[in-house]
Amino acid sequence: MNKPPVHAVAPEPWVVRFATQIPPGQRVLDLACGHGRHTHFFLERGHPVTAVDIDLSRLAKRPAHPRLEAIEADLEHGPWPLEQRRFAAVVVTNYLWRPILPNIVASVEDGGALLYETFARGQERFGKPTNPAFLLEPGELLEAVRGQLIVHAYEHGEFPVPNGCRAVRQRLYARRAST
Ligand SMILES: C[S@@+](CC[C@H](N)C(=O)[O-])C[C@H]1O[C@@H](n2cnc3c(N)ncnc32)[C@H](O)[C@@H]1O
């Protein structure tokens, strides 16, 4: 069996940085989970995790876990698969489909957190993705959560990436106030 590439295994430093802020034992949503590097990172931290992707075959290469709920769904052409569900943390990395940004924000429970990081405008200079549909505009994540979540950390800029190159990324850590 082929091993997933290193970048598909190690969690994003942005996610690691704020993971301690997610209450132990609370459910995490890993949206567009891919190989499941964040799914397994949070499972290993003791969280129940809901992992969603259009293709769960890569996640399925890892051993099954009793606290894992895996949902195969097309987030771009099907209904939102998590209607009425709320999570203590919603994690989205390296994925953007603008029409569901409101669903993503709404999935954060009271007192919960959104951790989002993906490529942003300016990335075209370094390589893929170059399609503006997959690149966040400056401040776009701030706009997506405005009036709903409280922003604790936000960055947009050129950062080193594991392959030794640089990439333009935008990242956000925001929380919904507790009621
Ligand atoms: C670049 S990977 C990121 C994976 C993971 N979040 C990470 O950072 O390691 C993008 C993921 O989005 C998923 N994806 C693409 N289109 C999708 C869709 N329409 N519905 C659900 N997932 C989709 C892909 O299957 C892939 O796993």
**Contact partners, residue 140, CB within 8 Å, separation at least 6:** 120, 170
- pLDDT of residue 4 exceeding 70, the answer is no
3-class state of residue 111 by DSSP: strand
CB 116 within 8 A of CB 166: no
The alpha carbon of 111 and the centre of ligand 1 are apart by a number of angstroms equal to 26
Residues 3-13 have a mean pLDDT of: 75
- Taking domain 6-175, whether its CATH number is 3.40.50.150 is answered by yes
Name 118's bridge partners: 170
Tokens of 164: 């030794």
Which of 133, 68, 57, 125 shows the shortest CA–CA distance to 101? 133
From residue 19, how far is each of 62, 111, 116, 167 by CA, in Å? 21, 14, 12, 23
Give the tens place of pLDDT for each residue, 71-81: 999 999 999 99
pTM (predicted TM-score): 0.95
pLDDT at residue 6 is higher than 60:
no
Nearest to 118 by CA among 6, 5, 15: 15
- Centre of ligand 1 to C-alpha 75, Å, is 9
At 105-162, the pLDDT tens digits run 999 999 999 999 999 999 999 999 999 999 999 999 999 999 999 999 999 999 998 7
CA gap 55, 64 in Å, rounded? 16
State the residue for tokens 């999570």.
Answer: 87
- Residue 153, strand partner residues: 173
Is residue 40 within a helix (H) or strand (E), and if so which, with residue range? helix 37-44
CA of 142 to the centre of ligand 1 (A): 22
Check pLDDT > 80 for residue 5. Answer: no
83 CA distance to ligand 1 middle (Å):
19
pLDDT tens for 15-32 read: 999 999 999 899 999 999
- Supply the residue whose CA is at minimum distance from atom 12 of ligand 1: 32
Ligand 1: residues with CB < 6 A are 8, 32-34, 37, 53-55, 74-76, 93-95
Q: Which of 33, 37, 95 most suits a substitution to test ligand 1, by most atoms within 8 Å of the C-beta?
A: 95
pLDDT, average across residues 91-106: 98
**Relative to the CA of 76, which ligand 1 atom is closest?**
19
Q: What is the pLDDT of residues 44-92, one digit of tens each?
A: 999 999 999 999 999 988 888 999 999 999 999 999 999 999 999 999 9
pLDDT band at 9 (very low <50, low <70, confident <90, very high): confident
How far away, in angstroms, is 178 Cα from ligand 1 center? 30
